[in-house]
Amino acid sequence: MNVSIAEPTVPVTEVSIESVLLDADLFVKYASPEKAFKLLKDSLERSPRSIPLREKMRDLCISQKNLTEAARQCLALVTLYIGREDFDLAYDRLQEAKLLDPRISVAPGLEAIRRARRPDYAVSRDRSPQKVRTDVTLAGNIGYVSIFDAVQVIENAKMTGLLVLKSELALASVAFNEGRIVDAECNGKNGVMAFREIIELSSGTFEFTTADHEFPVVINVSSNTNFLLDVLTELDNERAEQQGLRNVGSELV
């Protein structure tokens, strides 16, 4: 059966977006996914900020095993959901992008979400020059290279060692076994509670030194990315709850 569907030739509106989505479904139904892909691609060129179009393209690419393009759509959706302050979906799409294409670095996305949820975090970051050692495997200034970036590098290289972080607020460390986070220490705390404080550091320096032995597993994670997302989500939820309690208290006064 031949299906003839006119492709849009005018800027995409809400009405025409709905039509494009229906047409794409028809193309898939009648075994023409390549036509659905072209239709969605052309429509996205006209309306790149359309979440429904990108979600449909994402679904199509996943179903057709085009995982690289699906991951690209997920990253675009992260930016769009941040713009709508829908941070839970932004986290979901960022995690999905990493699962679809392990080569992707989630550090920029994590930083973007954090900046959007906490504008004070971005403003307070200290970019003043600080002394950094050069006799270690990896070193940097947190004001320029985020903790997320450092974790990503260590994970990708599957390195075993200790990441030491120094700031005015803390002297902390994160232990890695073959790139996987296994322990953390910060201000007298260890494990997950320590890492919760470490992930909030916005200034200081870090140094990673490799080790010839593995560290005891105190934090048992299957994925650094998932662990980072979970900790960030918990912190943000707790902060929202505290703000809600403060608002209620101020109303009662």
Write the CATH number for 75: 1.25.40.10
**pLDDT score for 9:** 45
> pLDDT grade, residue 181 (50/70/90)?
very high
The whole-chain average pLDDT of the chain stands at 83
> In the chain, how many domains are there?
2
Q: Residue 177, Cβ neighbours under 10 Å: how many?
A: 18
CA distance 160 to 125: 29
**pLDDT score for 85:** 86
Verify that 29 and 85 share a domain, yes or no.
yes
Verify that 96 and 143 share a domain, yes or no.
no
**pLDDT score for 28:** 93
**pLDDT score for 219:** 95
Verify that 177 and 235 share a domain, yes or no.
yes
Would you say residue 85 lies in a domain?
yes
Verify that 73 and 179 share a domain, yes or no.
no
Would you say residue 197 lies in a domain?
yes
**pLDDT score for 251:** 60
CA distance 230 to 219: 13
pLDDT at 5 over 60: no
Would you say residue 71 lies in a domain?
yes
Would you say residue 114 lies in a domain?
no
**pLDDT per residue over 122-179, tens digit each?**
444 444 444 544 456 788 898 888 888 899 899 989 999 999 998 887 889 999 999 9
Range(s) of the domain holding residue 209: 138-252
CB 196 within 8 A of CB 184: no
**pLDDT score for 10:** 46
Would you say residue 180 lies in a domain?
yes
Would you say residue 121 lies in a domain?
no
Q: Of 87-91, 115-119, 125-129, 216-220, give the lowest mean pLDDT range.
A: 125-129
Would you say residue 133 lies in a domain?
no
Verify that 155 and 242 share a domain, yes or no.
yes
> pLDDT grade, residue 215 (50/70/90)?
very high
CA distance 130 to 153: 21
Would you say residue 131 lies in a domain?
no
Distances (CA, A) of 170 to 154, 174, 200, 232: 21, 13, 11, 19
